[in-house]
Amino acid sequence: MTRIGIYGGAFDPPHLAHLVIARSAVVQFQLDQLRVIPTGSAWHKNRPLTASLHRLAMAHLAFDDIHRVVVDPREIQRDGPTFTIDTLSELKVEYPDALFYLFVGQDQAQAFTTWHRWEAILDIATLVVAQRPDGSSVDNPADTARWHNGVPAKVQSLDMPMMDVSATDIRSRLSQADLEPTSLPDHVLRYIKQHCLYQTHSDDRNHS
């Protein structure tokens, strides 16, 4: 049976911890493919995202060389707000006999029951929670996931090295010319410099 992983996010920008999650997911869950899906119109974000064409380009630069990982642009190409349940429903039609795994960080997981139609998501995919960078683990992922008295035991933990990497911190450093982050893939950093992304004076030009 085909095993497909879904790993969504803003990837604004994609950093080394994202790559570790992708590689760990493929190996631990023996995935036939992991679909990395940059967010389109993010209804839950309290800040504007970098223009989608840049985030998609950076995702390709970061993930294209990883075995069994495919960058999927469907949410960027979709009009209006993008919801995970819509993406999963589409993939279920495309791969009706596949097993699906949805990979999220613990911060996302703790807000999971606020997601649009979260119960339906669990009907299609197994939720897999990555560990926190502070070293706390998911000893019992089912208990960890049951924040609002409803998430069932169909939740697993992603084993991966601890990496204290923050996209917020990376963007902050990139906004200051003398602070170059070391947690970005080389190709991504070159792209950011080429297009002057995340610089304070270019925010209006580079965000949508």
Answer yes or no: are the C-beta atoms of 33 and 71 closer than 8 Å. no
| Kind plus residue range of the DSSP H or E element containing 37 | strand 33-38
Distance CA 143, CA 147 (A): 8
Structure tokens at 166: 């923050």
Q: In what order do the strands lie in the sheet with 99-104?
A: 69-71, 33-38, 3-9, 99-104, 125-130, 155-158
For 64-92, the pLDDT digits (tens) are 999 999 999 999 999 888 899 999 999 99
Distance CA 2, CA 148 (A): 32
For 129-139, the pLDDT digits (tens) are 987 555 444 44
Phi, psi of 34 (to 5 degrees): -115, 120
- Omega of the bond leading into 13 within 30 degrees of 0 (cis): yes
- Using the predicted structure, report yes or no on whether residue 148 has a pLDDT greater than 60: no
Domains of the chain: 3-164 (3.40.50.620)
Structure tokens at 30: 């023996």
179 Cβ partners below 8 Å, 6+ apart? 172, 173
Q: Which of 56, 123, 139, 58 lies closest to 85, judged by CA?
A: 123
What pLDDT, on the 0 to 100 scale, is given for residue 58? 98
Please count the residues of the chain. Answer: 208
For 30-74, the pLDDT digits (tens) are 999 999 999 987 655 667 899 999 999 999 999 999 999 999 999
The CA-atom distances, in angstroms, between 120 and each of 39, 46, 115, 172 are: 19, 25, 10, 36
Q: pTM for the whole thing?
A: 0.86
Within a 10 A sphere around the Cβ of 32, how many other Cβ atoms?
Answer: 15
